[in-house]
Each structure stands twice: as C-alpha cells, then as structure tokens.
Structure 1
Amino acid sequence: MKMSIMKKVFEEAKDALFLIEVTKCIKKNKAASELAETYPFTLEKVLDIAKGEGCMLHSTMEKCLDCEVKADWDQAAFPLILEDLKGRQEQFSGSYTVIDLHTSLLSIRRLAVQDRLQQVIQNKRLIEYVNQAHENERRALSQELHDGLAQSIYSLMLETRQLKWQDQSEVLSTKLQKIDEDFFALLGEVKQLAIDLRPTALDDLGLIPAVETLLHRLTETTGLALHFIPMIENKRFPDSVETITYRVVQESVMNSVKHAAVEELWVTLSEQNGHVVLTVRDHGKGFDFQKVKENSQGLGLLNMQERAESIGGRLSVHSEKAEGTTVTLWLPIQGEVVQ
C-alpha cells in the first residue's frame, strides 16, 4: 500500500522527475516525459551540471576556472536553460538528490511565477537604462565636441587670423610652427574620439588585435599591468560577438581601474564548444554584487548582461571583498544555446 502511494505521488508530481541508476534514467514521470518532448536535451549534460562536474556556463569544471557557479554550487537548486523545438529558450530550476550508492533523483521545474515577474521587472529596468545610456552617450559626445574640438578649432582660427599682422619672418615662422603643433594635437583628439565611438582595429583587424590595442592604450594611460592571454587563433567572428566582447573588456577593465585598487589584471579569451569565452580577473578590493546591482553603480554591469543576452549569451560576475572580481562572458558564435 505504501509503495503504491509513493508510486502515485511520483507519477502525478508536477515537477519533472527522473529516477537515475548510475548514469541512465530507469524511470520518469508524466511531467518528465512531456518536458523531454517539448524541450529535447541531453540527460548526461544535465547530470554533469547537477553533480557539479559542469556548470551552466562551462561544459566541465576544468574549463570552469573557479567561476561563481562552481563557487556557489547547490545541488538542491541549480539553474538550467532549455530550448524547445522552435528554438525558444526558457529558464528552469533543477534539483539533484542521491538516494543510495547507485540511485539518484533528478527534478526539473519551471521558474516560479514570482521569479518570472522579477525577470520582467528587471527587463523593463534594463530597457530604461539602455535608453538613458544612449542619452548619456549623446550628452558626453556633445560636451566633448563643444569643450574639446570646438574650442581647439576656435583657438586655431584666432592664431591664423593674427598671421595677417605679423611682419617679422622669425615671429611668423614660430607662429606657424605653433599652429602646426596645435593641428597635430587636434588631429589626435579627433582620432581618439573616433576610437572611443568605434575602434577601427575591430573592423579592420578583428577582435584579438582590437583588444590588444585597447589594453596597450589603457596600460599607457593608467600604468597598470594588463596581461592579455588569447587562447584562440586570430580569426573573425560575427560582428555582434566581436563588438560585445570588446565592450565587455572595456567596461570590466575600467571598473577594475576605478574601483578595485589593483596594479594588474588578467584578460583571457578562448573558444569552447562553439562559444567565445572571455574572462577578466583582478585581485582587488571586490564588492557585493547584489548591492551594486540595486543602485546606479551597477548599471554598467546590467548593460553588459543585456548585451550578452541579446544574442543568446550570458555574462556572470563573481566578486568577494578583499578577494577580487572575475567577469565571465560566454557568447555563442553561431546561435548555439548557452546551457
């Protein structure tokens, strides 16, 4: 009688339940069958994630490089992203329980309604931030043009007009030399402004040379030791992948420069399972990520997350006070699903 009740509870449970023996599913309930039909997935992959041998960002813990998913792993509630037959993605929560030496139970459920509502609220906040960020960028560009380029051009206009009243050739030669130097400096301002808006190296040479150029320039201006370790060959990726990766490097490094009080940091770039994987790591002051996300200081991080998710990617930030910060970006090269 007791076994019959347990069997009925198992079959009628709303969560998708998979009874596992070693690595094979020996029994699943109705919800599990429906889930597998709607969201085809590889059970072995989910079991790797459930057992902590992989994570939602990396295929194995060897590739995980101590990311925050590994550090905060909880078999009682771990995240999953599954894709249905039409290519639409949905978030799930998994649970893994060891029953005995050979048997375990895997449970998968959709995110609770309140979690979905929280996601909707966050998405609206991100949209508002993106709109505001565009306005801030326009305002900064306008101020740069007015206070920088416009003032420099006006100054050169005054200098050239004064040449009409110069009779002495030596004075005229000195004035022309000064104007030539000012024009050279103005040209540098224009080039730097263009690079900030859109780095030409990214369009002409690709991701790795663009990142190398960016880090070299930041080393010269900040004095930090920036170690770039590209573990992939220099080749072209989709424009969106290159642009997002470059901007995440730019934002992450500047965050470390401004807030982490570090003298060096490490940037690595690799390709894993059809994805470009970027990590930016420092050993600085660290911070409370949740608290930062709740105020305006976290808008840059939210912007990076929004950019990654816009092409099916994922960005994570793991930070501990006095231990440093690691930013990990995972982008599909040709539309693969991040799991």
Structure 2
Amino acid sequence: MKNEIHQRELLATQLEIQQATMQQIGRELHDNIGQKLTLVSLYVQQMLYENKVPGANERIDQVSQIINQSLQDLRSLSKTLTDDNINQKEIVTLIQEEVNNTNSFKKCSINFEYNFNQLDLGFVHKNMLLRITQEFIQNSLKHSNCKNIYITLNTSEDILWDLTIRDDGTGFDTTHITSNGIGLTNMKNRAEIIGAQFSIDSQKNKGTTLHIIFKKQS
C-alpha cells in the first residue's frame, strides 16, 4: 500500500515537473523566437512599403504571409505549452469554457452541473479533470454519434470530487478498451496517477458513462 502511494506521488511530481518544463519552453518560444519573427515581419512590411525593388512586391508579400502564419502558429504553440489557464482559473470555469466551445459548433449539446461554489484544487487535479473531460467529449463527438453529453462535478463530506460524464451515443464493448482506439486507456491512466477510482460503462445504442471519484485523504 505504501509503495502504491509512493508511486502515485512520484507520478504526480513528474507531471508537475513536465508542466513546468513546457511552460519554460513556451515562454522561450514567445519571448525569443517570437520577437525575432516579429522584427523580420516589420522589415518585410517596410520593404513592401518603400517599393525599392521593382517587380519584387509579389515575392515580398508571399514572404510576409509566411512569416505572419508562422507567428500565429508560434503563439498558438506557446499558449498550449504555458497553459497558465489551468493555474489561474477554477476547475468549473475551465470545464465550462470547454463546454461553451463545443456547444458553439452545434454538433452536440453539452450540459454541465456542479454542487459547489468553489473547489480548492491543485494543478495536478485540475489538469487531470480537464484533460479527461476534453478526451471524453472528443471521443463522443468522433465515435458515438451522440446528441447530448451530460457532465456533473460534485463534492461531499468524504469525497473531494466526483466526476460523471455521460453521452447518449451508440456505445461500445468495454471488454476491448485497449483496442477500440478511443483513448479510454489514457483516461484511466490519468485517474490512476492520483489514485482516483475509475469506472466506465457502455451499452449498445444506450450510450457511455464515465465515473471517477477521488476521496478525501484521511
């Protein structure tokens, strides 16, 4: 038992170190390479404005477009790596943003409910809850042909958090989790990192339900 707890603590620490490393890489990309690309873009725009090289406008414009696209990609990558949202926002806000983004596509209706005003969670728990929620939503949209997804996140006297996600899609055979290619093993592994209880139930043409519980430590 002690060995299992130790292993979970090690995995959680590794996740925090990995996130800190990605944040540092993201900041370097933004502050160093991003600034250089911005400077090059300004030079190219100045060349285009001055028009000192007859017939070169089209080439310069193409270079400018490539640089601007590279800047957009770089900013997107930097934002993904730093991911300060997880540290700065409540878990309810993070999940609700994901729900709103998905609902805006009008491919599936997602309902999110919770029974608390504030839940004090560290980065590891928030990251795990958010990533599993994202994975379940994406899997349902890609594979289940569902019309609705229902998410509940609750807390109680003995339970720090209790996450349930359910869709009304086609369902699948849960005995082939490792071979169905929809990322369930990844979700299960995330839960195991912090010692949460994980269960999945799916029935043909009735949908899939994911349930994860993390009890308060005594």
TM-score normalized by structure 2?
A: 0.66
Instruction: State whether structure 2 residue 201 is matched by structure 1 residue 318.
Output: yes
Q: Alpha carbons of 1:266 and 1:320: their partners in 2 closer, same or farther (altered >3 Å)?
A: same
How far is the alpha carbon of 1:199 from its aligned partner?
3.6
Q: Which residues in structure 2 correspond to 1:36-47 (within 5 Å)?
A: none
> CA 1:198 to 1:287, structure 2 compared with 1: closer, same or farther past 3 Å?
farther
Per the alignment, residue 286 of structure 1 pairs with: 171
Q: 1:303 to 1:263 in 2, by over 3 A?
A: same
- Give the Å deviation of 1:319: 0.6
Q: Does 1:163 align with 2:48?
A: yes
Q: Is the 8 A contact 1:199 1:210 kept in 2?
A: no
Q: Distance in 2 between matches of 1:213 and 1:252?
A: 15
Tell which has more relative contact order, 1 or 2 (C-alpha 8 A, sep 6+): 2
Q: Matched residues in 1 for 2:159 and 2:82: separation? A: 26
Q: In the alignment, is residue 200 of structure 1 matched against residue 79 of structure 2?
A: no
CA contact (8 A) 1:276 1:331 kept: yes
Q: Give the aligned CA root-mean-square deviation in angstroms.
A: 3.9
1:268 deviates by: 0.9
Residues 219-258 of structure 1 show CA distances to partners (whole Å, capped at 9, x for unaligned) of 2346432211122222321322211111110111111111
Distance change in 2, residues 1:253/1:194 (3 Å): farther
The separation in 2 between residues aligned to 1:234 and 1:243, in whole angstroms, is: 16
SS in 1 for 2:104: helix
Aligned: 1:307 with 2:187: no
Cα distance per residue 1:21-79 (max 9 Å; x no partner): xxxxxxxxxxxxxxxxxxxxxxxxxxxxxxxxxxxxxxxxxxxxxxxxxxxxxxxxxxx
Superposed, 1:143-292 pairs within 5 Å as: 156=41, 159-160=44-45, 162-163=47-48, 165-166=50-51, 189-197=73-81, 199-221=83-105, 223-272=107-156, 273-291=158-176
Give the number of the structure whose residues are more often helix, by fraction. 2
Shift of 1:294: 3.4
Counterparts of 2:98 and 2:130 in 1: how far apart (Å)?
A: 9
Matches within 5 A, 1:14-33: none
What is the aligned residue count?
A: 181
Gap regions ≥5 residues in structure 1 = 1-82, 90-133, 139-144
Tell me the secondary structure at the aligned position of residue 297 of structure 1. Answer: coil
